[in-house]
Amino acid sequence: MNWTEFFAAQLEREAPLSRKALERVPEGRPDWKPHDKSMPLGYLSQLVATMPSWIAMAVLQDELDLNPPGGSGYEPPATDTSAKLLAAGDEAAAKGLLALRQTTDQHLGTPWKLLVGGHVVMEKPRYEVIADTFTHLAHHRGQLTVYLRLNGAAVPSIYGPSADDASF
C-alpha cells in the first residue's frame, strides 16, 4: 500500500466519525465555551468540519500563509446551521479524498510550508503534514465530544461505545 491509498482509507474511516459528532452539535450556541480560555463551540465545530480540506491544501498548494502580507487570510464557509455544518464537513472530506486520489507518493514527499506574515514557521514533507492533520482532527473531535456532553447532547461512539451510544 502506498501513502495515497493509506491516507485515503484513513479519511474514509475518519470522515463518518466526525460527521457523527457534527450531527449532534446544538444550533444557536456558537459562542458557548466551557471556560474563558476555551474556543467557542461554533469555531470548534467549524474546525472539525473543515479540517479534512487541509489535506487537499497540503497536496495542491506549496504553502499557506496564515497572515499574508497585504492580503486577507482564509475565509471559512458559513456553518451557522446544522445543514451548513454537515455540508461543510462533507465537502471538506470530498476535497481531501479527491486530492489524495489525484496525487502521487512522490509528490507527498515534497516540502510544504506554513508561513505567518511571509515568514516560514514550519516546513515538512506533505505526508507528515497530512499525518499531523489526522492527529489534529482526532484531538479537536474529542474536544468537541466534551462540548457536546456539557451542552446536554448525546455523545456518539467514535472509536468505541460512549455512555450515550453503545453501538459500535
pLDDT at 67 over 80: yes
Mean pLDDT throughout 30-54?
A: 97
Q: Which pLDDT belongs to residue 134?
A: 98
Q: What is the pLDDT of residue 75?
A: 78
Please report which confidence band the pLDDT of residue 1 belongs to, taking 50, 70 and 90 as the band edges.
Answer: confident
The verdict on residue 17 lying in a domain is yes
Domain membership flag for residue 52: yes
Q: Which domain holds residue 122?
A: 3-25+36-150
**Residue 122 placed within a domain:** yes
Residues 104-160 have pLDDT tens digits of 999 999 999 999 999 999 999 999 999 999 999 999 999 999 999 999 999 999 999
- 168 falls within a domain: no
Strand order in the sheet with 111-116: 63-65, 111-116, 119-125
What is the C-alpha end-to-end distance of the chain, expressed in Å? 27
Q: What count of residues does the chain have?
A: 168
Greatest C-alpha distance within the chain:
51
**CATH classification of the domain holding 56:** 1.20.120.450
Task: Give the global pTM.
Answer: 0.94
| 30 within domain boundaries | no
- For the chain, the domain total comes to 1
